[in-house]
């Protein structure tokens, strides 16, 4: 009788080892001077940057949700890792923190080395864009836990900021300027609704070219999330930034109030930024109410910055120099409304 092995049970140790070897040069490409050890040990080691008087560590964790379904359907796995880094590093950066290192968790039913390496290549690219080191991670082969050919991702980012330079929104006041920074599309939120509208109700094929989008539906849906860490740092150097909000699930109404003091809200003018065609397509095909669109999608703005009005032009200029498109979209107002209602829309936002 043949003896049972771990591979017979669905776990291929050799594949896991091969993936680690493929990952090492990718992680090395993200290395910062503070990193003390390469990937492969039991723990990642990094010292704090020199010269900090009162360092505050800032952490964030997230996933990419059902955007993974698009990656599976397209058999394209080399960009979803950038989404993973973006969802974590952008959150950390909103506090004024510099992302230091990133850890990933990759879980799958059966490990395919080429797919795993493609995913990690996207993570490494995201880390390079965010300026942080890919310090380590976990690859878990879990037979029976996932459908064949599918996997799940989670990410964890840690950054650092001087306590006196922490951006926490406490100094926001009525009359402050609200700046919107463009997104690259859906980013990594609202995909359950997007897939329902476009792929199920609209029966659009991922490989079909759509005139409104100027590319295929799949290319639009797989577009990676922008990473704003360097943009936020550039804006902060102008000296006028009082709050930053990463626009993720919940849209502007669900995210901007998180960085505002009690009693304050924002009034934003929807004519001040361009809504990406994908949002109009989802709304028209899915017959989605405007209120639902606002509280589900970023609608073309991946980041909102609240700043001193006298520094608004400097902030926009700084964002432009690092490749971001931004504009003044509104102002801070007094508001005693409920949480989401603290974001007041005016103008034609549809």
* 129 and 87 Cβ atoms separated by less than 8 Å: no
Query: Does 150 have pLDDT greater than 90?
Result: yes
pLDDT tier for residue 23 given thresholds of 50, 70 and 90: confident
- Tens digit of each residue's pLDDT (9 = 90 or more) over 256-269: 999 999 999 999 99
pLDDT of 348 > 70? The answer is no
Neighbouring C-alpha atoms within 13 Å toward the C-beta of 129: 25
Stated pTM of the model: 0.94
Mean pLDDT of the chain: 94
pLDDT at 350: 53
Span 191-197, average pLDDT: 97
| pLDDT tens profile 3-18 | 877 776 777 777 878 8
Partnered with residue 246 across adjacent β-strands are 303
**Residue 349: which pLDDT band, with cuts at 50, 70 and 90?**
low
State mean pLDDT over 313-318.
Answer: 98
The structural domains of the chain, ordered by start, are 13-165 (3.30.1330.10), 177-346 (3.90.650.10)
Q: According to the model, what pLDDT value does residue 231 have?
A: 98
Alpha carbon distance 269, 329 (integer Å) = 6
Of 251, 247, 260, 248, nearest in space to 290 by CA: 251
pLDDT in tens, 298-310: 999 999 999 999 9
CA distance readout (Å), 313 to 6, 317, 324: 61, 6, 14
Residue 17, pLDDT score: 82
């Amino acid at each position: 009788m043949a003896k049972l092995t771990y591979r017979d049970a669905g776990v291929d140790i050799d594949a896991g080892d091969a993936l680690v070897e493929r990952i090492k040069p990718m992680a090395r490409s993200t290395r910062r001077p503070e990193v003390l050890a390469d990937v492969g040990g039991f723990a990642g080691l990094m010292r704090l940057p020199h010269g900090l008087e009162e360092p505050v560590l800032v952490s964030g964790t997230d996933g990419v949700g059902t955007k993974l379904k698009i990656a599976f359907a397209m058999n394209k796995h080399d960009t979803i890792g950038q989404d993973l880094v973006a969802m974590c590093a952008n959150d950390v950066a909103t506090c004024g923190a510099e992302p230091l290192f990133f850890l990933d968790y990759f879980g799958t039913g059966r490990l395919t080395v080429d797919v795993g390496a493609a995913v990690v290549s996207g993570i490494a690219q995201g880390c390079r864009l965010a300026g942080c080191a890919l310090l380590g991670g976990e690859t878990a082969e879990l037979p029976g836990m996932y459908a064949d050919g599918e996997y799940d991702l989670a990410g964890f980012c840690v950054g650092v900021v001087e306590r006196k330079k922490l951006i926490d929104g406490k100094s926001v006041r009525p009359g402050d300027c609200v700046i919107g920074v463009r997104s690259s599309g859906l980013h990594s939120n609202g995909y359950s609704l997007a897939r329902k509208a476009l792929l199920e109700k609209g029966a659009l094929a991922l490989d079909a070219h759509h005139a409104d989008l100027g590319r295929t539906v799949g290319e639009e849906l797989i577009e990676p999330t922008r990473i704003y860490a360097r943009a936020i740092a550039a804006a902060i150097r102008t000296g006028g930034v009082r709050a930053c909000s990463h626009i993720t699930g919940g849209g502007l109404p669900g995210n901007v109030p998180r960085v505002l003091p009690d009693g304050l809200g924002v009034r934003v003018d929807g004519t001040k930024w361009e809504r990406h065609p994908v949002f109009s397509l989802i709304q028209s095909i899915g017959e989605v109410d405007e209120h639902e669109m606002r509280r589900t999608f970023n609608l073309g703005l991946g980041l909102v910055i609240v700043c001193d009005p006298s520094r608004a032009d400097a902030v926009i200029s700084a964002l432009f120099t690092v490749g971001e498109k931004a504009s003044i979209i509104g102002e801070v107002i007094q508001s005693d409304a409920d949480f989401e209602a603290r974001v007041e829309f005016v103008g034609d936002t549809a």
